[in-house]
Amino acid sequence: MTTLSKKTILTGDRATGALHLGHYVGSLKPRVVLQHNHNQTILVADMQGLTDNAFDPQKVSSNILNVVADYLAVGIEPAKTTICLQSKIPALAELTMFYSNLVSVARLERNPTVKNEIQSKSFGRSIPTGFFTYPISQAADITAFRADTVPVGDDQLPMLELTNEIVRKVNRLADRPILTECEPLLSHMPRLPSADGKNKMSKSMGNTISLGSTPKEISAAVKSMYTDPNHVRIEDSGQIEGNVVFTYLDAFCEDQGYVQSLKEQYRRGGLGDGTTKKILEECLQELLLPIRQRREAFLTDRQELANILRAGTDIANAQANDVLSDVKDIYGLNIF
């Protein structure tokens, strides 16, 4: 058996909303596992959150400690994972400035994720400069911790590609490997759909089950889930593909053998949507009850959450300052 060598992992979340079930399967669960045998840093990316919320800053500030509570509630341990706040790590902003001299506007315009975002937000030429250049700041985030591994969804791959281009440019300038190239650690969990099945689960769609959702909200969200419109009577045969209830059962039901037997019965006919929804609801209520309780307990002491974030940020600052100093060296700027 081969043992995985210890990796240096950097991940982050824009702090623009409560974390939801999509985050839970896609990134939180893997992070809880990874923290036990790797150096893991999680960045609360409030500066990146502001790149398209500058005129609604509360959306970011009010979520910072909630996101920390979400992390702790799912089992991220501050003793094993460094949780830090982007805006309190000045070296990240400085590195962003140095790196922006190495990236052309044309290169940024080619980023397919940013392209999609510009379209969906109808920015056009009014795109905030900070939003347009956020992939550069993300490269600063990753390189400042000498991360070799970045767990991400596939929408983030263009960011890692740009990061590695910057790394190679800097290392060529320095004539030695100052910065570390990174590799994605792709989540094998496909993105969870929203309840209506039409969109990806995201806070802005207003159809999310967040980690803090009440039992009532969970129940309402499951009841509203899209199933198979042609499955009218219980005895009709039903379709699994595109059926949101089954997608969620796949993602959250521990007993996959049971899910398999439900699918067979559903296809054959004789299993109603009321029943599949009841099974899913039970499973989600059971999953989220302890998480919600822990989250609420952590949120009763916001000072303690801030202390945890501060302690992680202190560690992060030491690492990021070290990288910044190396980069300044290249430019001959460590004059004093």
Residue type, 329: D
Residue 141 in contact with ligand TRP, rule: CB under 6 A:
yes
Pick the stretch among 11-19, 61-69, 75-83, 208-216 that binds ligand TRP (CB under 6 A). Answer: 11-19
Question: Helices then strands (H, E): number in the chain?
Answer: 16, 5
Other C-beta atoms closer than 10 Å to the C-beta of 68 total 26
- Do 135 and 108 touch, CB atoms closer than 8 A? yes
Q: Which of 9, 12, 288, 323 binds ligand TRP (CB under 6 A)?
A: 12
Residue 26 in contact with ligand TRP, rule: CB under 6 A:
no
d(CA 298, CA 66): 9
Residue type, 31: R
Residue 10 in contact with ligand TRP, rule: CB under 6 A:
yes
Residue 142 in contact with ligand TRP, rule: CB under 6 A:
yes
Residue 111 in contact with ligand TRP, rule: CB under 6 A:
no
Q: Which of 35, 39, 41, 48 binds ligand TRP (CB under 6 A)?
A: 48
Encoded one letter per residue, x for contact with ligand TRP by CB under 6 A and - for no contact, window 151-190 reads -x---x----------------------------------
Cβ within 8 Å of residue 20, ≥6 positions away: 201, 203, 208, 209, 210, 211
Pick the stretch among 9-17, 96-104, 247-255, 299-307 that binds ligand TRP (CB under 6 A). Answer: 9-17
Q: Which of 40, 41, 51, 138 binds ligand TRP (CB under 6 A)?
A: 138
d(CA 309, CA 82): 8
* Burial of 120 (C-beta count, 10 Å sphere; 0-12/13-18/19+): exposed
Residue 11 in contact with ligand TRP, rule: CB under 6 A:
yes
Question: Which helix (DSSP H) or strand (DSSP E) does residue 233 occupy?
Answer: none
- Do 60 and 30 touch, CB atoms closer than 8 A? no
Q: Which of 7, 9, 13, 35 binds ligand TRP (CB under 6 A)?
A: 13
Residue 225 beta carbon to ligand TRP: minimum distance, rounded to whole angstroms: 25
Pick the stretch among 43-51, 54-62, 98-106, 279-287 that binds ligand TRP (CB under 6 A). Answer: 43-51
Residue 82 in contact with ligand TRP, rule: CB under 6 A:
no
Pick the stretch among 41-49, 169-177, 277-285, 300-308 that binds ligand TRP (CB under 6 A). Answer: 41-49
Nearer to ligand TRP, 96 or 276 (CB): 96
- Do 163 and 141 touch, CB atoms closer than 8 A? no
Nearer to ligand TRP, 14 or 277 (CB): 14
Give residue for tokens 């910044």. Answer: 324
Structure tokens at 225: 């889930």
Residue 60 sits at φ, ψ, to 5 deg, of -85, -55
DSSP string for 128-191: -HHHHTHHHHHHHHHHHTT-SEEEE-GGGHHHHHHHHHHHHHHHHHHTS--S---EEEE-SSPP
Q: Which of 28, 65, 72, 150 binds ligand TRP (CB under 6 A)?
A: 150
* Residue with the shortest CB distance to ligand TRP: 12
Q: Which of 45, 85, 114, 222 binds ligand TRP (CB under 6 A)?
A: 45
Residue 22 in contact with ligand TRP, rule: CB under 6 A:
no
Nearer to ligand TRP, 48 or 243 (CB): 48
- Do 82 and 41 touch, CB atoms closer than 8 A? yes
In whole angstroms, how far apart are CA 167 and each of 61, 66, 182, 216? Answer: 31, 33, 9, 48
Pick the stretch among 42-50, 94-102, 186-194, 236-244 that binds ligand TRP (CB under 6 A). Answer: 42-50
Which residues contact ligand TRP by CB under 6 A?
10-14, 43, 45, 48, 138, 141-142, 150, 152, 156
